[in-house]
Amino acid sequence: MKKYLLILLIIFLGHRSLTASAAILYLSPETQSFGVGQEFTLDLLLDTENVNINAAQAVIHYPPEILEFVSADRAKSIFNFWVEEPAFSNGALSFIGGTDRDVSGKSLLIFSSRFKTIGAGAAAFTLSDGVVAASDGKGTNALSSIKGASVAISPTEISVPAPPLIQEQPQKIVREPAPALKLPTSPEVKVNLYPDQSKWYNYFGEVIALWNVPEDVIQVAAAIDQNPNTILTKFDAELFNGRNFGPLKEGIWYVHVRFKNNIGAGPTVHYRLSLDAIPPVDFALSFNEGIATDNPQPTLNFQTNDALSGLDRYELQINSGAAITISANWSYYQLPLQAPGKHLIRVGAIDKANNVTEGNIEIEIIPIPSPTITLLSKDVFVGEGDFLVRGTAAEEVTIKILVKKKTGDIVAEGVAAADKSGNWEALINQPLKKGQHFVEVTAQDQRGALSLSVKSELFKVREKPLITIAGIGITQFWFFAGLLILLLVGFGVGGFSYRIWRTQLGRKAVVAQRDIAAMSNLLQKDIDKILTSYADKRVDEREAAEIEFLIKKIKDNLEKTKKYVTENIGEISK
């Protein structure tokens, strides 16, 4: 389908001129090095080799697992319309573009693409389905070759200065020169793409050298080569404040600039450019102890070189830990203490231009025999130390003891030494808080080699009892809680007894009131009879006998009442 679209595009553009097949489609820079998480720009360029062209298409392939496409920029493209704008899909970036004029030249930009590194490793950019249409009206494919690119991505971030996206262009100087009094001074040259002459750079672009032109200068000579001592003698006819030398290849280059005035030519200045995009030579990793050992600090061997800029350093990473910087002069490194298990070791060899070659190797650290726990203190109380732990292990190893909460938080630590018989014990003096805990022990020998950890069963830290009754410990909390319960029960029983007593007292008082009222009624009746007999104020013999009888009866009843009242009041008070 894309081929048919390109044919239609060529027909639309029409016949321009006769050509021969010689165009080169390539990606630039050819090689780069970055760390994970960095962004970089990749240009798709075209060299027509003096062939006129007016359209092109291609597909750029890249590994999406370690590279992420960010954007495409076609603002400076040689093409001014697009049948298919640069678009990405699952690791492929495709396009079909063209122009309504004849185009020829070197380092012609089709578009720039920006990527982000999301994983470590080597990323290869390849080109496929490439067509460069000659402007001969026949759709002749002028493409003779294609060149991809590669990026080395280190797991650690590498600081690489990014080339400026827009560079200042040289300007033509038109003015009358001032009269010179002496020979011109040395030019002050700057190259924005490579601003530091002492550094190496691993990216490529247009080398634009700029300089300020003094008022008395009438001509400038400028050239670039790999000779640090070139003396320029050929001056340009027109006066410019700079020159675009185009992109360069790897190596050490020198921009030479010389001024001339009406007196003569001044000194030639030499501006150094150091370019290296080739990573160090591939290398292998090995351990003196092999890939499985009980040595917790094995020695890693590595060695490589870099032919151009030279090796700057190594960076070593263990699993996902922080990078360890190692001198470029070293060829071995003893690892820090490693726990038992498998460990992935990565080593990046980084040259002075920050190109990276990476190697990796996996090593297994074999654990020494694990200790055992044979005894824990039976009773462990809150706030007290003297917690005894006892066990066995290999002879003369150190036992690291951790007391942890059920959740795994460390609350106490201890160390013990196994004797020649392999027995060990430790007294943990740190006070513990209430709750469930366990003990975790690990053995370590004199080399620092570790065993696998061993855990005890859960044990409970509880409050210490104040008293023990029938073999049952009564803690301070339950002692005072029980005392409070007894007091509450006592008060309850007392209140209840008081209410019963009050009820009984009331009942006895009622009975006493009733009996006293009955006695009073009897006395009242006898007194009334006496008063009746004496109503006429005369008392005969019969009435006198009756009154005497009644008085004796009253006396007898008063005695009974006295005794009854005395006895009942005593009962009420009980």
d(CA 108, CA 79): 10
Other beta carbons within 10 angstroms of residue 179's beta carbon come to 9
The Cα–Cα gap between 62 and 494 comes to 94
pLDDT tens sequence across 337-365: 999 999 999 999 999 999 988 888 999 99
Give strand pairing partners of 415. 400
pLDDT, tens digit, for every residue of 48-95? 988 899 999 999 999 999 899 999 999 999 999 899 999 888 899 999
The answer to whether 58 and 47 are in contact (CB under 8 A) is no
pTM of the predicted structure, to 2 decimals: 0.56
Mean pLDDT confidence for 21-49: 86
User: Tell me, what's the pLDDT at 484?
Assistant: 67
Phi/psi at 21 (5° precision): -75, 115
Phi, psi at residue 147, to the nearest 5°? Answer: -135, 130
260 CB contacts (<8 Å, ≥6 apart)?
184, 217, 218, 219, 220, 221, 235, 266
Query: Which positions ≥6 away from 205 have C-beta within 8 Å?
Result: 28, 29, 163, 167, 193, 247
Between these two residues, 160 and 209, which has the higher pLDDT value?
Answer: 209
Query: Which residue do the tokens 């249409």 mark?
Result: 133
Quick: pLDDT tens for 423-433: 999 998 888 88
Residue pair 451/371 in contact by the 8 Å Cβ criterion: yes
Q: How big is the chain by its Cα radius of gyration, in Å?
A: 55
> How far apart are alpha carbons 347 and 325 in whole angstroms?
10
Average pLDDT over residues 123-148: 89
Q: How far is CA 234 from CA 107, 175, 213, 261, 405, in A?
A: 26, 21, 17, 14, 85
Please name which of 118, 105, 62 lies closest in space to residue 86, comparing C-alpha atoms: 62
Predicted local confidence at residue 368, as pLDDT? 95
Q: Which residues pair with 273 in a beta bridge?
A: 253
> CA 264, 267, 269, 270: dihedral to nearest 10 degrees?
110
The phi, psi pair for 490, rounded to 5°, reads -60, -45
List strand residue ranges (DSSP E) for 226-307, in order: 242-244, 251-260, 265-275, 286-287, 292-293, 299-301
- 95-119 per-position pLDDT tens digit: 999 998 889 888 899 999 999 998 8
Q: What's the average model confidence in pLDDT over 409-426?
A: 93
Strand partners, 113: 42, 72
Whether 125 contacts 27, CB under 8 Å: yes
* Residue 460 bridge partners (DSSP): 436
pLDDT band at 489 (very low <50, low <70, confident <90, very high): low
Using N-to-C axis directions, what is the helix angle for 476-533 and 541-573, rounded to 10°? 180
Could you tell me if 115 and 125 are in contact, meaning their C-beta atoms sit under 8 angstroms apart? no
| Residue 573 confidence (pLDDT) above 90 | no
Residue 393 in this model has a pLDDT that exceeds 60:
yes
Residue 234 has pLDDT above 80, yes or no: yes
**Residue 470: its pLDDT value, please?**
47
Cα–Cα distance list, 425 to 355, 400, 453 (Å):
55, 11, 16
